[in-house]
């Protein structure tokens, strides 16, 4: 075995370890963001559903807040399922990505002024793109 081949193998092994470490870190950060979204959306949803008049200050906006609370709860439940699958498997799989993406869909019904929803939509989209990219890269290598 020539020395150039050994060096190439060492470099390839190092690059593979860097890629795996980066993938684990990205998974950990996105899973953390997903758990944060679960807490925020479920909390907001419960408050809006249980006490819409107290939040709105009047009965006029309470129906809107009740509807928005139900939307936030459904989004939080989808995100929770995705987070549980990600946490259990230790990596993003198709189910976790699908649930993260599905949790974006109810947010399309919420007014565009919901900053948390827009932030989470971007996180969910990034996670989904990451999973698709990983699947595509592994299929290409196989």
Q: Assign residue 43 a region: left if phi > 0, alpha if psi is -120 to 50, beta otherwise?
A: alpha
- Please check whether residue 97 is in contact with residue 127, taking contact to mean a CB–CB distance below 8 angstroms: yes
pLDDT of residue 74: 76
- Please check whether residue 114 is in contact with residue 107, taking contact to mean a CB–CB distance below 8 angstroms: yes
- Please check whether residue 69 is in contact with residue 40, taking contact to mean a CB–CB distance below 8 angstroms: no
In three-state secondary structure terms, 58 is coil
Q: How far apart are CA 3 and CA 126, in angstroms?
A: 41
Q: How far apart are CA 133 and CA 110, in angstroms?
A: 29
pLDDT digits (tens, 9 = 90+) for 60-81: 566 667 777 777 777 777 777 7
**Residue whose entry in the numeric block shows the structure tokens 């971007």:** 122
pLDDT digits (tens, 9 = 90+) for 70-123: 777 777 777 777 777 766 665 656 666 666 667 666 666 665 446 666 666 666
**Residue whose entry in the numeric block shows the structure tokens 């819409």:** 52
pLDDT of residue 51: 73
Q: How far apart are CA 61 and CA 46, in angstroms?
A: 16
Q: Is the pTM of this model over 0.75?
A: no
Q: Which two tokens stand for residue 66?
A: 């009740």
Neighbours of 126 (CB within 10 A): 15
Region 33-46: mean pLDDT is 76
């Amino acid at each position: 075995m020539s020395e150039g081949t050994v060096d190439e193998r060492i470099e390839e092994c190092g690059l593979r370890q860097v890629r795996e470490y980066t993938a684990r870190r990205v998974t950990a950060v996105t899973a953390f963001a997903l758990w944060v979204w679960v807490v925020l959306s479920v909390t907001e949803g419960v408050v809006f559903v249980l006490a819409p008049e107290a939040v709105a200050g009047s009965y006029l906006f309470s129906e809107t807040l009740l509807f928005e609370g139900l939307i936030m709860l459904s989004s939080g439940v989808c995100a929770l399922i995705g987070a549980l699958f990600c946490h259990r498997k230790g990596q993003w799989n198709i189910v976790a990505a699908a649930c993260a993406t599905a949790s974006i869909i109810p947010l399309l019904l919420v007014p565009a002024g919901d900053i948390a929803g827009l932030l989470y939509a971007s996180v969910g989209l990034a996670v989904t793109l990451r999973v698709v990219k990983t699947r595509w890269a592994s299929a290409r290598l196989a």
